[in-house]
Amino acid sequence: MKLNDIRDNEGARKGRVRKGRGIGSGKGKTAARGQKGQKSRSGVSIKGFEGGQMPLHMRLPKRGFNNPFGKDYAEVNIGMVQKFIDAGKLDAKSDITEDALRACGVARGGKDGVRLLGKGELSAKAKFIVTGATKGAVAAVEKAGGSVVVTAPTNAELKAAKAAKSGDGDE
């Protein structure tokens, strides 16, 4: 056997069907579209159309609200952080940054950063540098002797910056 002798098994590769290429092809004349009507024409897009009846997707009620300005944070509970410290996957002696949390696998997703939540207990003294943190999480970390540095501006800081900006434009 040589490389140039290698072939696919008989019938392994099937040629594509060429519709509308004569009656002898078996898919000629109407090209398997049937006779007349909207569906036999080109450029038809009637997905979800129910013959004039109100379509199902319009009959069902709308629910909820999708905030276009909402932030997408990877949420991390301090209890999970403690588990990862105990397992030796996180080092409490060095700063626990967002990159460290993602590298060990405790934080997943969240395109706008990592937010620390207060669920669970923290016994290790650690310094966290994260985008956001709840009051309960900050209190729990400080109770354990650590600290939390929040890099994202708070709502009060944003309002103050907005007020200062609008005040500068009046002059």
Residues 4-24 have pLDDT tens digits of 999 999 999 999 999 999 988
Query: Domain for residue 44, yes or no?
Result: no
75 with 113: CB under 8 angstroms?
Answer: no
Average pLDDT over residues 103-117: 90
| CATH number reported for the structural domain that contains residue 103 in this entry | 3.100.10.10
Identify the band that residue 139 occupies on the pLDDT scale cut at 50, 70 and 90: very high
- The answer to whether residue 171 scores a pLDDT higher than 60 is no
| Distance of alpha carbon 124 from the chain centroid | 32
- The answer to whether residue 135 scores a pLDDT higher than 90 is yes
Q: Which residues constitute the domain of residue 118?
A: 74-157
Query: Domain for residue 124, yes or no?
Result: yes
Average pLDDT over residues 44-54: 84
Query: Domain for residue 166, yes or no?
Result: no
Query: Domain for residue 134, yes or no?
Result: yes
Quote the crossing angle between the two packed helices 78-86 and 135-143, to the nearest 10°: 40
Position 159 scores a pLDDT of 85
- The answer to whether residue 155 scores a pLDDT higher than 80 is no
Position 115 scores a pLDDT of 93
- The answer to whether residue 168 scores a pLDDT higher than 80 is no
Query: Domain for residue 41, yes or no?
Result: no
Query: Domain for residue 63, yes or no?
Result: no
Comparing 100 with 45, the larger pLDDT belongs to: 100
CB proximity list for 38: less than 8 A, separation 6 or greater: 44, 46
CB proximity list for 143: less than 8 A, separation 6 or greater: 122
Query: Domain for residue 61, yes or no?
Result: no
User: Whole-number mean pLDDT of the chain?
Assistant: 88
Query: Vertex 67, ends 65 and 69: CA angle to 5°?
Result: 175
Residue in 130, 154, 125 with CA at minimum distance from that of residue 142: 125
Query: Domain for residue 54, yes or no?
Result: no
In total, how many domains does the chain have?
1
